[in-house]
Structure 1
Amino acid sequence: MRRLRALLLPLVLTLAAQAAPAATDPAEAARAAADQLEGASVALDEAQDARDRVSALTETVLAFEAGLEALRDSLRRATIRERQLARELKARETEIARLLGALLTIGKDTSPTLFLHPGGPTGTARSGMILADITPALDSGAARLRSDLQEVMILRQLQQGAAQTLQEGLTGVQDARTALSQAIANRTDLPKRFSEDPIKTALLIASTETLEGFASGLAEIDPQGDTNDGEVSDITDRKGELPLPVQANVLRRAGEADAAGIRRPGLVLATRPNALVTTPTAATIRYRGPLLDYGNVMILEPQPDLMFVLAGLDSVFGSTGDVLPEGSPVGLMGGHDPGIGAILSQSSEGTGQDRSETLYLEVREGKTPVDPETWFRTDKEG
């Protein structure tokens, strides 16, 4: 019995010290993400018959993107958690072996003679008291081991079963993007503030060598046939609270140098391929189309003397002079959705570095660029 006590007491103390708080359940997060994707699929079917198809399809695309983002995040968390458990179990190999050995020893023989002490009744009584103290900790250690092993099994099943859900989500979002592009092409109900002067615009493009020069020159052009149709309200009271126009991470802030040492007054946002870009507030399209080496550019005017410049889009929607409601789609980012294998590989690496596209966001008050974070909410610390 003394030998058994010497074997088990350090184990009991170790198990008692290892009570850890429960972590957020990535499997539950994955189930919630799958439900979100299923809801987006239902919304896609309903959007086909919606009166405002553009609005309905925009919400559907954003729902798919949010669901896929949540599923990718849950997969990353599942992978990280599985690796954490594997490391913990590896570190506890000796303790687990001793625990299993003790449980097997006790479990082999239920005869009362197992617990008799050679020192007589007093020794037996003391041994019984020791076992009474030790047994709950053994049970607790065994329960924790069972829980950890079960969690590992669930996490592996989650990762193995994610491929089909991801494939369905990727197919659904692509169908929704295609339907949205078609609905925008067929849209005829937008108010129009002015008509573009193609000659002035072409001359401006030809005479400028920078985005800043083009935006400054555009601010000086008086739109043809400027009317009050669809006039937007003052948004100054929303300064600092506008959402970013796309689901993204801030790659570089205003004034931060890039790899070449170039500093720009706007934000560089890292987005996923084919991400939908929307207007953060009601605005008039002042320019849309290719410009210099920025790819497609969209310049929005929410109110007089205020412009939001979005550069780097693959495709742009709408026409110059259109007045867009808040949340309207203005374009799509470029790139290609990664295949299932690539997504699962990124998840297994635990990096999440799959935001391969960049959108440049600049804000101009009159002719002067200002820090976009004075207008947009980016969860900047400090």
Structure 2
Amino acid sequence: MRIFAAFSLICWAGFASAQSDPSQDARLASQQLEAAVVALDAAQSAKDRVTALTETVHAFEDGLAAMRDGLRHAALREQAIEATFAEKDLELQRLLASMQRIGRASGPLSLMHPAGALGTARAGMLVGELAPSLRAEANVLKAQLDEVSVLRQLQSDATEQLKEALSKVQIARTALSDAIANRTDLPKRFTEDPVQTALLISSTETLGAFATGLIDANESGTLPEFDGLQGQLPLPVDGAVLRSFEEADAAGIKRPGWIVATAPAAMVTSPVAATLRYQGPLLDYGTVVILEPANDTLLILAGMQQAFGAIGDVLPKGTPVGLMGGTTLPLDGNLTASARIDPRRRTETLYIELRRGPTPSDPAQWFDLTKE
């Protein structure tokens, strides 16, 4: 019995220490979201509102992702504790019964052990040694029950903060869209010819043909050196690559680019300084943005719901070029259950294609997936 008590205590203590601290994760995420709210207020009066609002939207996206991760860890931790309770149900019943019997004992045992006085003494010593182990195990149990209570309160508080943050980030995105629409300080490499663009769209049937047409209609002028950035570009959106270059999907279709999973309404930015060559709906790709980071080089971003900027603008690196579509985490949904499934809810997809002249290039040669 003593061996069981000691072993059980060690296992429970090891289980507790092996876990991360969901409460601490949620507190840090909460601080991120609070800082983003403060940044949103400051951005409204910032001299460079586009830059300030871009940073604010990033801060909200990072905070929301961190909070959902924290919710997921809390949900999984609670689930693990409850599973442990279920597995140890019989042992816990025996533990509680033993503690109750010891608690009812008000003095020395009144009955003699069948083995005589020596047996009685040994039994008393055994109970005396066992009691601290039982109490220690009971303390571990109480700590686990207290942790479940804390986790449930944490999830309730986090849900309310998520609701507020989702409302604030939408305000920030709208303000960013307005600020970009009213922006007049960007240099222009050329002025769009709407008729020429319309003719090009009507005469092409594929995304590649449209891009080739843009290259053939290249305006004069110099652009920054691009080849030196090979392998250094960050992804234009926070996400994960679902399908790589020329990888077939379930229907057997291969595309000369990447399909990146990302969150609903995520902000898409230019990963490099570039000229905005096109933005708008195109074929069946949804809203498309085409950037020209160097002569005869095009970066195609397709699948957004909204695009920013004016064709011909020269965009600095990190400039927002659009927002993904989709619906953010519903305010009346079960946020904890959603967090268990997919903490970042990457339900939208952005298509990324890079072309050197008329030939697609594998994005793996250009993008560094370790960069955020």
TM normalised by structure 1 equals 0.89
Matched residues in 2 for 1:87 and 1:293: separation?
A: 48
Q: CA deviation at 1:37?
A: 0.8
Q: CA deviation at 1:273?
A: 1.8
Q: Could you tell me which residue of structure 2 aligns to residue 291 of structure 1? A: 282
Matched residues in 1 for 2:301 and 2:111: separation?
A: 78
Residue by residue over 1:170-209, the C-alpha shift from the partner in whole angstroms, topping out at 9 and shown as x without a partner, is 1110110111111111111001112223333222212210
2:151 counterpart SS class: helix
Matched residues in 2 for 1:249 and 1:343: separation?
A: 24
Q: Does 1:257 align with 2:253?
A: no
Q: Does 1:317 align with 2:313?
A: no
CA contact (8 A) 2:187 2:313 kept: yes
Matched residues in 1 for 2:283 and 2:113: separation?
A: 91
Q: CA deviation at 1:336?
A: 2.5
Q: Does 1:274 align with 2:265?
A: yes
Seen in structure 2, the aligned counterparts of structure 1 residues 105 and 346 have a Cα distance that, compared at 3 Å, is closer
Identity, % of aligned positions: 51
Q: Could you tell me which residue of structure 2 aligns to residue 106 of structure 1? A: 102
Seen in structure 2, the aligned counterparts of structure 1 residues 240 and 106 have a Cα distance that, compared at 3 Å, is same
Seen in structure 2, the aligned counterparts of structure 1 residues 180 and 266 have a Cα distance that, compared at 3 Å, is same
Q: Which runs of 4+ in 1 moved over 4 A?
A: 114-121
Map 1:74-85 onto structure 2 (within 5 A): 74-85=70-81
Q: Could you tell me which residue of structure 1 aligns to residue 232 of structure 2? A: 241
Unmatched 5+ stretches in structure 2 = none
Matched residues in 2 for 1:184 and 1:327: separation?
A: 13
Q: How many residues align?
A: 369
**Residue from 173, 193, 196 that aligns with 2:192:** 196
CA contact (8 A) 2:287 2:306 kept: yes
Q: Could you tell me which residue of structure 1 aligns to residue 23 of structure 2? A: 27
Q: CA deviation at 1:12?
A: 4.1
2:31 counterpart SS class: helix
Map 1:37-76 onto structure 2 (within 5 A): 37-76=33-72
1:341 counterpart SS class: coil
Matched residues in 2 for 1:346 and 1:123: separation?
A: 56
Q: Could you tell me which residue of structure 1 aligns to residue 178 of structure 2? A: 182
Map 1:136-175 onto structure 2 (within 5 A): 136-175=132-171
Q: Which amino acid aligns with 2:366?
A: W
CA contact (8 A) 2:65 2:344 kept: no
Residue by residue over 1:69-117, the C-alpha shift from the partner in whole angstroms, topping out at 9 and shown as x without a partner, is 1111111221122111111101101111111111111112241337975
**Residue from 355, 358, 361 that aligns with 1:364:** 355
Seen in structure 2, the aligned counterparts of structure 1 residues 137 and 235 have a Cα distance that, compared at 3 Å, is farther
Residue range with higher mean Cα deviation, 120-129 or 54-63: 120-129
Residue by residue over 1:107-155, the C-alpha shift from the partner in whole angstroms, topping out at 9 and shown as x without a partner, is 1224133797564554344335434543343233112211211111111
Seen in structure 2, the aligned counterparts of structure 1 residues 136 and 368 have a Cα distance that, compared at 3 Å, is farther
- Cα RMSD of the aligned pairs, angstroms, is 2.3
Q: CA deviation at 1:351?
A: 3.8
